[in-house]
């Protein structure tokens, strides 16, 4: 009989969101009249920018004409998109990133998982706690961990706690980590990193020969002019960092699918024979072999993000969600609840009132306010006592949810 990849059996059976769904369904069945508002899963709600839609409609027409029809495109993405990305997202901020270092893909979720294909199996891996679960689970699947403890921590990973005490920015570890996952602005905590903090990580990585995986999916939500948008704003990052970006959250592409990964030409890591190998070449080979590119239509939609109208429309979209986040922050703060994040990020990280556990607060909000959020403990043991509220929703839903919480939750 064929055998399986046993590492999959170590996974915590996708506990968090199924468990939320189970509790919400049970409540809805028992209370069919309840108007439940979901501020849980981090998906966008507002329609695509007009500029992106118009570009994709035109691209569909191109596909209908023999003269402009496109078959397979370059696995790395069309040059016209990669050049716009390099110019607008990096060179305009003083980052030395070339179009050839941009790899267009169908998502950052896949890229942050797939990147492990080009790394060895004996690397020491560091993640924050709480963390975006994809980083952990893809390492479990690849066999880079032992089994999970009762608290859900996998043997063999370095967990770096992020709490209010360290402003949700991990302390640089004393031990050596070969691969480090950083996400700023952060999902789930909504925290951001200063240039000084990222410089510490880059210095650490260069001293230890580590590679930083920098997930900047929420970069567009940064409004503070002093905060870095890209790790390549940091001196030395071209020698130690891979950056992941996505059109999911800035342009509402969660269902349209387009993202990109930056692999600088200057990045190297060690082969078994001790030689230093270019990571760009390996990632290029990986993508060319296992991936056939993003559809022409979708890349045209992504390109439109960089047009004048596209820039104005995506900015308005991001500002809409940021205003939701502001409303959430202000209403909860006024109700005496301690909140973090939600300023340069679409997530508000709530300290559960009255020392409730994350799941107890989840149940309380569901039962007394009919509002759904995400228990912080679902993102890691250090998320216990916290709760994530997403700003991705309609204004009406956000205002109604906050009205219910301020009227029904006593602190
Ligand atoms: C939403 C999100 C992404 C984007 O994923 P896509 O696959 O591009 O939709 C990446 N990282 C984090 C932390 C996210 O929350």
For residue 259, report the distance from its CA to the centre of ligand 1, in Å: 9
Give nearest CA residue, ligand 1 atom 2.
Answer: 217
Q: Are residues 236 and 212 in the same domain?
A: yes
The model's pTM: 0.97
Q: Does any domain span residue 410?
A: no
Q: How far apart are alpha carbons 310 and 78 in whole angstroms?
A: 19
Q: Does any domain span residue 411?
A: no
Q: Does any domain span residue 195?
A: yes
* Cβ of 249 below 6 Å from ligand 1: yes
Q: What pLDDT is stored for residue 14 in this prediction? A: 66
Predicted confidence (pLDDT) per residue in 221-242, tens digit: 999 999 999 999 999 999 999 9
Q: Are residues 27 and 69 in the same domain?
A: no
Q: Are residues 277 and 327 in the same domain?
A: no
* Cβ of 215 below 6 Å from ligand 1: yes
Predicted confidence (pLDDT) per residue in 23-43, tens digit: 999 999 999 999 999 998 789
Q: What pLDDT is stored for residue 16 in this prediction? A: 85
Q: Are residues 23 and 132 in the same domain?
A: no
Q: What pLDDT is stored for residue 156 in this prediction? A: 95
Which residues are registered as beta bridge partners of 259?
105, 246
Look at residue 86 and tell me whether its pLDDT is greater than 70: yes
Look at residue 385 and tell me whether its pLDDT is greater than 80: yes
Q: What is the mean pLDDT of residues 75-97?
A: 98
Q: CATH code at 159?
A: 3.40.640.10
Q: Does any domain span residue 1?
A: no
Band of residue 152 on the pLDDT scale cut at 50, 70, 90: confident
Q: Are residues 322 and 192 in the same domain?
A: no
Q: What pLDDT is stored for residue 107 in this prediction? A: 98
Question: What percent of the chain lies above the pLDDT cut of 90?
Answer: 96
For residue 65, report the distance from its CA to the centre of ligand 1, in Å: 34
Q: CATH code at 42?
A: 3.90.1150.10
Burial of 117 (0-12, 13-18, 19+ CB in 10 A): middle
Q: Are residues 302 and 162 in the same domain?
A: yes
Q: Does any domain span residue 177?
A: yes
Q: Does any domain span residue 332?
A: yes
Q: Are 374 and 363 in contact (CB under 8 A)?
A: no
Q: What pLDDT is stored for residue 188 in this prediction? A: 98
Domain end point (choices 307, 335, 365)? 307
Q: What is the mean pLDDT of residues 171-195?
A: 97
Q: Are residues 250 and 295 in the same domain?
A: yes
Q: Are residues 298 and 177 in the same domain?
A: yes
Q: Which atom of ligand 1 is nearest to the CA of 183?
A: 13
Domain end point (choices 307, 335, 370)? 307
Q: Are strands 211-215 and 347-351 parallel, antiparallel or unpaired?
A: unpaired
Q: What's the total number of domains in the chain?
A: 2
Q: Among 40, 111, 217, which is best to mutate for testing ligand 1, by the most ligand atoms less than 8 A from CB?
A: 217
For residue 138, report the distance from its CA to the centre of ligand 1, in Å: 14
Domain end point (choices 287, 307, 327)? 307
Q: Does any domain span residue 143?
A: yes
**Pick from 385, 386, 379: which is nearest to 130 by CA?**
379
Q: Are residues 213 and 275 in the same domain?
A: yes
Q: Are residues 19 and 113 in the same domain?
A: no
Q: Are residues 124 and 235 in the same domain?
A: yes
Q: 357 — phi, psi (to 5°)?
A: -70, 165
Predicted confidence (pLDDT) per residue in 278-296, tens digit: 999 999 999 999 999 999 9
Q: Among 48, 104, 106, 109, which is best to mutate for testing ligand 1, by the most ligand atoms less than 8 A from CB?
A: 109
Instruction: Determine which helix (DSSP H) or strand (DSSP E) holds 113, and give its type and residue range.
Output: helix 108-114
Band of residue 15 on the pLDDT scale cut at 50, 70, 90: confident
Band of residue 410 on the pLDDT scale cut at 50, 70, 90: confident
Contacts 24+ apart (CB under 8 A), 139-146: 140/7, 140/8, 140/10, 140/11, 141/5, 141/7, 141/8, 141/11, 141/113, 142/7, 142/116, 143/5, 143/7, 144/116, 145/7, 145/10, 146/10
Q: What is the mean pLDDT of residues 365-372?
A: 97
Q: What is the mean pLDDT of residues 159-184?
A: 96
Looking at every residue in the chain, the average pLDDT score rounds to 97
Q: Are residues 72 and 166 in the same domain?
A: yes
Q: What is the mean pLDDT of residues 117-122?
A: 97
Q: Which domain holds residue 363?
A: 6-46+309-405
Look at residue 13 and tell me whether its pLDDT is greater than 80: no
**Pick from 316, 301, 292, 286: which is nearest to 84 by CA?**
301
Predicted confidence (pLDDT) per residue in 297-324, tens digit: 999 999 999 999 999 999 999 999 999 9
Q: Does any domain span residue 391?
A: yes
Look at residue 12 and tell me whether its pLDDT is greater than 80: no
For residue 349, report the distance from its CA to the centre of ligand 1, in Å: 18
For residue 107, report the distance from its CA to the centre of ligand 1, in Å: 7
Q: What pLDDT is stored for residue 150 in this prediction? A: 84
Predicted confidence (pLDDT) per residue in 321-353, tens digit: 999 999 999 999 999 999 999 999 999 999 999
Q: What pLDDT is stored for residue 409 in this prediction? A: 85
């Amino acid at each position: 009989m064929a055998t399986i990849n046993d590492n999959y059996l170590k996974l915590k059976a996708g506990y968090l969101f199924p468990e939320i769904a189970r509790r919400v369904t049970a409540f809805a069945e028992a209370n069919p009249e309840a108007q439940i508002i979901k501020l849980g899963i981090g998906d966008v709600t507002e329609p695509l920018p007009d500029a992106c839609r118009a570009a994709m409609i035109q691209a569909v027409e191109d596909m209908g004409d023999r003269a402009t029809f496109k078959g397979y495109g370059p696995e790395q993405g069309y040059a016209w998109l990669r050049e716009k990305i390099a110019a607008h997202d990096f060179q305009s901020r003083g980052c030395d990133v070339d179009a050839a270092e941009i790899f267009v893909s169908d998502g950052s979720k896949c890229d942050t998982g797939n990147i492990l294909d080009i790394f060895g199996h004996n690397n020491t891996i560091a993640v924050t706690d709480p963390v975006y679960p994809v980083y952990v689970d893809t390492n479990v699947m690849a066999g880079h961990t032992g089994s999970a403890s009762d608290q859900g921590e996998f043997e063999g990973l370095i967990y770096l706690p992020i709490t209010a005490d360290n402003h949700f920015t991990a302390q640089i570890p004393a031990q050596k980590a070969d691969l480090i996952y950083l996400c700023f602005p952060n999902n789930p905590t909504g925290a951001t990193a200063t240039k000084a903090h990222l410089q510490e990580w880059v210095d650490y990585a260069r001293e230890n020969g580590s590679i930083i995986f920098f997930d900047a999916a929420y970069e567009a939500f940064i409004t503070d002019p002093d905060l870095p948008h890209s790790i390549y704003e940091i001196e030395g990052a071209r020698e130690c960092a891979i950056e992941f970006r996505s059109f999911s959250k800035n342009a509402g592409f969660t269902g349209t699918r387009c993202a990109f990964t930056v692999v600088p030409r200057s990045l190297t890591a060690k082969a078994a024979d001790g030689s230093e190998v270019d990571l760009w070449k390996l990632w290029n080979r990986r993508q060319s072999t296992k991936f056939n590119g993003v559809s022409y239509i979708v890349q045209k939609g992504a390109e439109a993000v960089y047009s004048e109208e596209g820039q104005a429309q995506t900015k308005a979209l991001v500002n809409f969600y940021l205003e939701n986040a502001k409303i959430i922050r202000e209403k909860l703060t006024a109700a005496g609840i301690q909140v973090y994040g939600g300023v340069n990020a679409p997530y508000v990280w709530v300290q559960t009132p009255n020392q409730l556990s994350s799941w107890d607060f989840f149940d309380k909000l569901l039962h007394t306010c009919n509002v759904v959020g995400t228990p912080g403990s679902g993102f890691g043991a250090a998320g216990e006592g916290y709760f994530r509220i997403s700003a991705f929703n309609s204004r009406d839903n956000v205002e109604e949810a906050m009205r219910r919480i301020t009227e029904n939750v006593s602190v």
